[in-house]
Amino acid sequence: MVIVSPALVRKFIESSATLRRAYEFLEADEEVQSLLEMSNIMAVGRLRYNDHGVVHSRIVSGAALEILDLLVKAGVKPSSMEVGISRNLEESMIIVLTSAYLHDIGNAIHRVNHEYLGSLLAKDIVDRMLSDVIPHVDSRRRRMIRQEILHSIYATETNTQALTVEAGIVKVADGTDMAEGRARIPYKLGKIDMHSVSALSVKRVDISPGTSRPVLIGIAMDNFAGLFQVEAVLRPKIVSTRIADYFEVTIRIGDRELKVFP
C-alpha cells in the first residue's frame, strides 16, 4: 500500500533515468511552471476553488504511475504498446507521467473547457520535451506519442470517454487527490456546503493491489460526508474509462470498511 502524496512520484523517477529526465524537464520548464502558477491564480485566486497547481500535478503524476505499475503487474498492456506507438514500458510511462503533470494547465485560461484548452496548450511543450528526453526516437513516432499525451489530457474531463489505458489511468489518478480538503470537485474556499464538508472529511487516500481486481483505492474518512467525493468525482471518472473493471474502491471510517465500487 502506498499513500497518495506529492512524494509518490519519486518512487518511479528514481528507478528510471529517462523518466527522471522527463520529470525534471517539466519541473524546470518556465512555460510549464508559469501555466501551473496561472492555473492557481485563476482557480484559487479568482474562482476561490481548491488547488489546481504544481502540487496537484505532482500528486496525480505519482498516483498515475502507481496505478500503471499495478495494472502492468496484473498483465494489462498499455494501449500505446498494443499498437506499437510505444516500443517499451518506459515510453508508456512517459505518456502517463507527462499527461498527468500537464492535465490541468488549461485552467490558466479558464476553468470552463480547461481539459480541451490544456490539450492545445500542451502540444508545443510536449514536442519540446520529447525532443529532449527521447531524441533517439524518430520524429514520426514522437508525434504519435505526443498525441497519446494530448488525448490523456483531454479525456480527464468527466464526461469524455478515455479511449486508452493510459488516459484512463490519468483520469482515475486525478480523482484520487482528495485528502485533507484537496477534493477534485472544485469547492469555494471558506464556504460551508456539501462540497467543502465532504472534502475536509477525507483524511487519506492509498493505492494497493486489490483482492478481486488489480487496483484497490482506499479512502480513509472522518465521517460519511466524504462519500460525496467518491460518488460525485471518483466513480464517474472510473466508469468513463475502458479500464473500470480493474478497480475496486473502499472507504474506511475508524474500524469500519465499506466497498463502494464496483
Overall number of domains in the chain: 1
Q: Which residue has the cell 474518512?
A: 221
pLDDT of residue 22: 98
**CA dist 99 → 37, 58, 225 (Å):** 17, 11, 31
Determine the structural domain holding residue 70 and report its residue range: 2-261
- Taking the chain (262 residues) in consecutive chunks of 10 residues, what is each chunk's mean pLDDT? 97 96 98 97 84 93 98 98 97 98 97 97 98 97 98 97 98 92 61 67 94 96 85 94 98 93 94
Count of Cβ atoms closer than 10 Å to residue 241 Cβ: 22
Residue 100 DSSP SS3: helix
pLDDT digits (tens, 9 = 90+) for 189-207: 556 666 667 777 889 999 9
pLDDT digits (tens, 9 = 90+) for 101-146: 999 999 999 999 999 999 999 999 999 999 999 999 999 999 999 9
Question: Which sign does the torsion angle of CA 26, 115, 215, 85 carry?
Answer: negative
What strands lie across the sheet with 202-209, from one edge to the other? 2-3, 202-209, 215-221, 247-253, 256-261
pTM for the whole structure: 0.95
